[in-house]
C-alpha cells in the first residue's frame, strides 16, 4: 500500500459548518474520511464512463419463481457468462418473490450489456445495476 499524504483545503467557514453537520449526521468519523468518500465516488463514476477499463457491477433481479422456465432461462444465460459472473446470492423474499444479486466483472460495456439482458428477461419484475470497481487505487 502507498504512504499517507496530506493536503489542505481552503473554504468559507459557513460551508465547512454545513459540511460538519452533514458528516456528523451521516456517521463519518472525521472530515478526511468523508472527503475520501466524495473523491472515490467521483473516480468510480469516471471509470464507468471509460471504454476499456475493468469494472465490477452488482445486478439485482426481482422475480417470481412461479414464472415457468424463468429460473432455468436465467441460469442458462448466467452459465454462458460464467467468466464475467463472479458470484450470486439468492433470497426468498416471500412466498412468490425472489431477489437475486449477481456480482459481475468486466469492461463497463460488457457488464452493462449483461445487466440489460438479464433485466429485460421476460418475467423479471425489476432490476438494477450498481456500478463499482475492483478497488485498485481507491485505497
* Residue with smaller CB distance to a copy of itself, 42 or 80: 42
CB of 82 to a copy of itself, least distance (A): 14
The answer for residues whose C-beta is within 8 angstroms of residue 88's C-beta and 6 or more apart is 78, 100, 101, 102, 103
Measure the CA–CA gap between 28 and 20, rounded to whole angstroms.
10
**Minimum Å distance from CB 60 to a copy of itself?**
5
98-130: string of b/e by CB count within 10 Å (b at 16+)?
bebebbbbbebebbbebbeebbebebbeebebe
Phi-psi region of 70 (alpha: psi -120 to 50; beta: other; left: phi over 0): alpha
CB nearer to a copy of itself: give 8 or 79. Answer: 8
* CB 106, min distance to a copy of itself, A: 13
Q: Which is nearer to a copy of itself, 80 or 89 (CB)?
A: 89
Nearer to a copy of itself, 52 or 87 (CB): 87
CB of 1 to a copy of itself, least distance (A): 7
First-to-final CA distance of the chain: 8
Amino acid at each position: 500500500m502507498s504512504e499517507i499524504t496530506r493536503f489542505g483545503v481552503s473554504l468559507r467557514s459557513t460551508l465547512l459548518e454545513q459540511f460538519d453537520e452533514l458528516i456528523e449526521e451521516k456517521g463519518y468519523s472525521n472530515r478526511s474520511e468523508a472527503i475520501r468518500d466524495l473523491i472515490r465516488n467521483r473516480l468510480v463514476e469516471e471509470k464507468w464512463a471509460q471504454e476499456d477499463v475493468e469494472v465490477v457491477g452488482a445486478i439485482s433481479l426481482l422475480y417470481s419463481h412461479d414464472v415457468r422456465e424463468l429460473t432455468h432461462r436465467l441460469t442458462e444465460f448466467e452459465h454462458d457468462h460464467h467468466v464475467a459472473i463472479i458470484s450470486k446470492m439468492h433470497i426468498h423474499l416471500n412466498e412468490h418473490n425472489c431477489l437475486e444479486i449477481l456480482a459481475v466483472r468486466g469492461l463497463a460495456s460488457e457488464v452493462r450489456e449483461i445487466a440489460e439482458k438479464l433485466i429485460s428477461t421476460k418475467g423479471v419484475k425489476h432490476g438494477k445495476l450498481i456500478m463499482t470497481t475492483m478497488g485498485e487505487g481507491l485505497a
